A and B are shown apart, each in its own frame.
Chain A
């Protein structure tokens, strides 16, 4: 336990207007006057208001008062402490006051922004300030802990965001473990043919990055692997990674491809080819896979299922097939983690009125990507499901599963541009007529709207309206054998039936099916839509509430390629910043045991989530390891003797705050 500088310390109260954010609902001047009049018996010696307390001028006021009035405590009534606690604590520290003797009380998020009645809001602001004034008397001077940072980094997800992050860190000279669930890195980008709006060949710009990631000596590539367990905290995470058995000896395999040529078992490739093509039971997802080693698919391999075959083993020139291989668990230590786990696609079957899965010539956008890809099942020929017939008319439906109350409320952001790209490709390769059915065109990024103009000039027909139904039930002779798109054209205010040969559904992006479990594994939370949640949506989009865990790419929300790459690089910069600091400052919010009071009842021993409470047999007392304690306070609350105290949130502080909140004002 620390010492109190005095029982009734000298307190300064500062009330922020936050422009008009606070002052429009809270009578700030009235609160200021009340604080000095009503709380002087509680130790308040000065109270002031200011337009923007967080400005440098506002901070200077506090610094000056600390010196002039000899303030021992500072209470700032402004926004949430999650925004500016650090600002004001740093200001106090500059003036010679221990930073932990400054507290904020949130009269913006908890008062002015959520209440409307000025009188009631002003009263509530007073209660909150009274609570903090009472509480802060019992604050102690605290010192931060420094713990060393392990310079290794874990990047989860080998899509473009993860690759970018890994390369940035590796190029700076630090080691990265890049973990990918699939047999190859590359992610969704490797499935595309062209990228909008430049129409760059997707593989041509991606594969050099993949190769770089595969060959960089600072990157340990762990494909066909998954993270199974994470313990520890910023600077020192212990991570267990399951390396699934490939049944291939990576030291011997040259990636020559004879095994998949000879493998007799054909399997529909649901992942890379979106169900349109085949792969073998021993396979690499695509020709440019990194690493080059294939994987034997246990579920489909004839040898594993029936006990005979081993064709791959017979033909392998290097003897690298190993049917005995088992899953391996690697335990590594890393200082920081970047999660770039990407997205899943909306299941178009859920919108039954669009007929996907029932009407053969209704395709999803990913199927279309594969159809138009030169390395895809049709070699880049855009054809109907039969694989031969070229469509003469194509309808592209936007917002399938997005901006829809029945499915996902959000806009998937990329589908408009993706659909425009499809239009261009259809025109270029088949000369077919193309209809785009859109709700709103959203082409808001560099060179995106120009691409829209280009597609308009190419003669694509745009129909504004949400498609009601796609059916094959013809009403007119010219509809026979076609898919009929029923839509209300909202620009002319009429129902239209448009017969087409092929329908492409621009399906939205969704959080990974297991995003929530991944979040739990790493101790981060998901937004209500299921995307990983940022520390601050505007100003800290790549950090999470858990120190040392960063997020990048479309795991945080729908994103195009440039945004994913930027986030990957940004997360890497943040990690490098941590690594180069060599140490990380931890909040000194810790539990400690007063050994003179501890009776050794051991009630607290099993409560610690991090197992840092130790029982000392000889002395019959309990101790907490302060370096490992994370400060949750569960043991503090449990101790029947009150022998455990939690800095920053002591019983005295909380009791005093309750008193203050219930004070007569």
Chain B
């Protein structure tokens, strides 16, 4: 593994907790690894497992899924559904020959900016140890638009 490997991590956040935790971390100027790029969903329950596969196929080395703590979901209990999908997805990834450690589920409430930052740092380091995913960037062969049509 080369010294200069910088993992690319895509993070899915919930509008009500972890996205706000990122806001809280920002407001408090908590520093964390710049390797993560966040996407906002309304709820971790919105996470379609294909989003994760898509991110890995598109060049991400790891995917972080974040949601409200169990019992705190803004939509009552949809984070449990995210948990269920996450566990199934780990099995699927294993079958595809991908280390399930490349995806991680993190609970972070809106107040937990520090926690989110610490989790991001830790996950980036975990991915750094796993090294680049190294999937061929098949999507680079086709244009962006065709690619989207194909998937959608």
**A609 B55 Cβ-Cβ under 8 A:** no
Decide if B30 touches A609 in the complex (CB within 8 Å).
no
Interface membership of chain A positions 622-665, coded 1 if the CB is closer than 8 angstroms to chain B and 0 otherwise: 00000000111110111000000010110110111111011110
The answer to whether A131 and B76 have CB atoms under 8 Å apart is no
Annotate A69-96 by CB proximity to B: 1 below 8 A, 0 otherwise.
0000000000011100000000000000
User: Once the chains bind, are A114 and B30 in contact (CB under 8 Å)?
Assistant: yes
- Is the CB–CB distance between B78 and A609 below 8 Å? yes
Check A116 against B31 for contact (C-beta < 8 Å): yes
Bound-complex Cα distance A528 to B21 (A): 12
B49, B111, B140: most-surrounded residue (chain A CB, <10 A): B111
Which B residues are CB-close (under 8 A) to A120? 34
Instruction: Note all chain B residues with C-beta closer than 8 A to A649.
Output: 41-42, 46
Contact indicator B27/A113 (Cβ below 8 Å): yes
Interface residues of B in 94-119 (CB under 8 A from A): 109-112, 117
Are A658 and B17 within 8 A (Cβ)? Answer: no
Report which residue of B30, B37, B72, B145 has the largest number of chain A beta carbons within 10 angstroms of its beta carbon: B37
Q: Measured between alpha carbons, how far is A609 from B50 in the docked complex, in Å?
A: 22
Question: Interface digits, A175-196 against B, CB 8 Å rule (1 contact, 0 not)?
Answer: 0000000000000000000000
Complex: chain A residue closest to B151, CB-CB: A655
In whole angstroms, how far apart are the Cα atoms of A108 and B25 in the complex? 11
Known contacts A80-B23, A82-B23, A523 near B59 by CB under 8 Å: no
Give the residues in chain A near B17, CB-CB below 8 Å: 525
Among A121-129, A209-217, A235-243, A479-487, which stretch is in contact with chain B? A121-129
Does B1 reach chain A (CB closer than 8 Å)? no
Within 8 A of A (CB), among B74-103: 74-78, 81, 85
Counted as pairs of residues, one from A and one from B, with CB atoms less than 8 Å apart, the total is 156
Q: How many interface residues does chain A have, given as a range?
A: 35 or more
A residues in contact with B58, CB < 8 Å:
658-659, 662
Say whether A109 contacts B22, CB under 8 Å.
yes
Instruction: Give the CA-CA distance A65 to B47 in the complex, in Å.
Output: 35
Q: Could you tell me if B25 and A652 are in contact, using CB atoms closer than 8 angstroms?
A: no
Does the CB pair A636–B71 fall under 8 Å? Answer: no
Assess the A658–B75 pair: CB atoms within 8 A.
Answer: no
Is residue B38 within 8 Å, beta carbon to beta carbon, of the partner chain? yes
Q: Judging by beta carbons under 8 Å apart, are A632 and B78 in contact?
A: yes
CA distance A111 to B16 in the complex (A): 20
Q: Does B4 contact A (CB under 8 A)?
A: no
Question: Within 8 Å of chain B (Cβ to Cβ): is A110?
Answer: yes
Report A405-429 CB contacts with B as 1/0, cut-off 8 Å.
0000000000000000000000000
A634 and B144 within 8 A (CB): no
- The residues of A with any CB-CB pair to B shorter than 8 Å are 7-8, 42, 80-82, 106, 108-111, 113-117, 120-121, 123-124, 127-128, 131, 134, 520, 523, 525-528, 533, 545-546, 589, 607, 609-610, 630-634, 636-638, 646, 648-649, 651-652, 654-659, 661-664
